[in-house]
């Protein structure tokens, strides 16, 4: 059982509507995790004051210059100690997905077990970046968490002014509209840009996404700087008997 919850009247209102609330999810994790209890305390303070209290910094793993998003609290007591000490460090670690976003349940369960061992238990699935976002880790636990995830065969995603994590659609693995080998193209791109992904050296971020056909399920035209989209190169084929 975690420590007692803070009073969070404003956050509680977010649970009163008809839709699922992210606050309910955090409270569920807070039942067994002191970090999440103090996260709710800091978030309530932000809602009351309309200010953010996270600052950045430098946190990483050996050999990498990116992939970790550092967050340190700025809410301090008069003596300089953190007002919410268990959430004083709340770093996010980005882990690169496989092509086509293919996982089996055993892999996901093992990831969750590792994260509960080292972090808050809060996970954000694929979105704009394509990464799995493991949110809520102390500086001391970043390296051991990554070491165990890396042993599973997964690598750090991109963050900062770098080549960002790539995404490819499910493509030829399941889709009849696929016009090329999406997984192979994504792997080729990653292998040729990996140094720029792990060691930020660009003026700004750069993203690429791979879609197997003009349906563009990865939304690469809108969400990427470098779009790879499969197209049909022959004359249109029409089965007149079916028509």
Q: What is the pLDDT along the chain (243 residues), one digit of tens a residue?
A: 579 999 999 999 999 989 999 999 999 999 999 999 999 999 999 999 999 999 988 888 998 888 899 999 999 999 999 999 999 999 999 999 998 889 999 999 999 999 999 999 999 987 777 889 999 999 999 999 999 999 999 999 888 888 898 899 999 999 999 999 999 999 999 999 888 889 888 899 999 999 999 999 999 999 999 999 999 888 888 889 988
Strands 68-69, 208-211: pairing kind: unpaired
Tokens at residue 6, please?
């803070």
Q: What is the pLDDT of residue 8?
A: 96
Q: What is the pLDDT of residue 217?
A: 92
User: Of 206, 233, 231, 211, which is closest to residue 221 (Cα–Cα)?
Assistant: 211
Largest CA distance in the chain: 82
Domain with CATH 3.30.70.2500 in the chain: 9-151
Q: What is the pLDDT of residue 1?
A: 59
Q: What is the pLDDT of residue 50?
A: 96
Q: What is the pLDDT of residue 237?
A: 83
Q: What is the pLDDT of residue 141?
A: 96
Cα–Cα distance measured from residue 148 to residue 61, given in angstroms and rounded to the nearest whole number: 12
Cβ contact 225:204 at 8 Å = no
Neighbours of 175 (CB within 10 A): 16
Q: What is the pLDDT of residue 120?
A: 94
Give φ, ψ of 40 to 5 degrees: -60, -40
User: Of 208, 242, 206, which is closest to residue 228 (Cα–Cα)?
Assistant: 208
Q: What is the pLDDT of residue 60?
A: 86
DSSP character string of the chain: --PPPPP-HHHHHTTSSSS--HHHHHHHHHTS-HHHHHHHHHHHHHHHHT---EE------TT-SSSEE--EE--B-TTS-BSSGGGSB-EEEEEPPPGGG---HHHHHHHHHHHHHHS-SEEE-S-SS--EEEEEE-HHHHHHHHHHHHHTT--B---SSSBPPPEE-SGGGT-TT--S-HHHHHHHHHHHHHHHHHS--SSS-B-EEEESSTT-TT-HHHH-SEEEE----S-----TTT-
| Fold of the domain built from segment(s) 9-151 | Alpha-Beta Plaits (3.30.70)
Q: What is the pLDDT of residue 211?
A: 95
Give φ, ψ of 2 to 5 degrees: -80, 175
C-alpha 117, offset from chain centre? 18
């Amino acid at each position: 059982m975690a420590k007692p919850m803070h009073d969070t009247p404003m956050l509680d209102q977010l649970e009163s509507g008809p839709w699922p609330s992210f606050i309910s999810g955090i409270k569920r994790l807070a039942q067994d995790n002191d970090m999440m209890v103090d996260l709710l305390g800091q978030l309530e303070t932000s809602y009351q004051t309309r200010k953010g209290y996270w600052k950045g910094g430098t946190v990483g793993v050996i050999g990498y210059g990116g992939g970790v998003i550092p967050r340190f609290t700025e809410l301090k007591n008069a003596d300089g100690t953190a007002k919410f000490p268990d959430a004083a460090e709340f770093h996010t670690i980005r882990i690169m997905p496989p092509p086509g976003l293919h996982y089996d349940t055993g892999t996901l369960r093992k990831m969750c077990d590792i994260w509960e061992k080292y972090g808050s238990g809060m996970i954000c699935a694929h979105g704009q970046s394509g990464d799995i976002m493991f949110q809520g880790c102390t500086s001391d636990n970043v390296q051991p968490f990554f070491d165990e995830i890396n042993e599973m065969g997964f690598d750090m995603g991109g963050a900062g002014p770098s080549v960002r994590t790539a995404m490819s659609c499910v493509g030829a693995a399941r889709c009849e509209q696929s016009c090329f080998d999406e997984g192979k193209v994504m792997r080729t791109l990653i292998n040729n840009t990996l140094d720029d992904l792990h060691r930020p050296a660009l003026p700004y971020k750069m993203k690429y996404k791979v879609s197997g056909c003009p349906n563009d399920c990865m939304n690469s035209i809108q969400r990427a700087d470098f779009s790879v989209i499969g197209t049909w190169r022959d004359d249109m084929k029409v089965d007149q008997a079916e028509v």
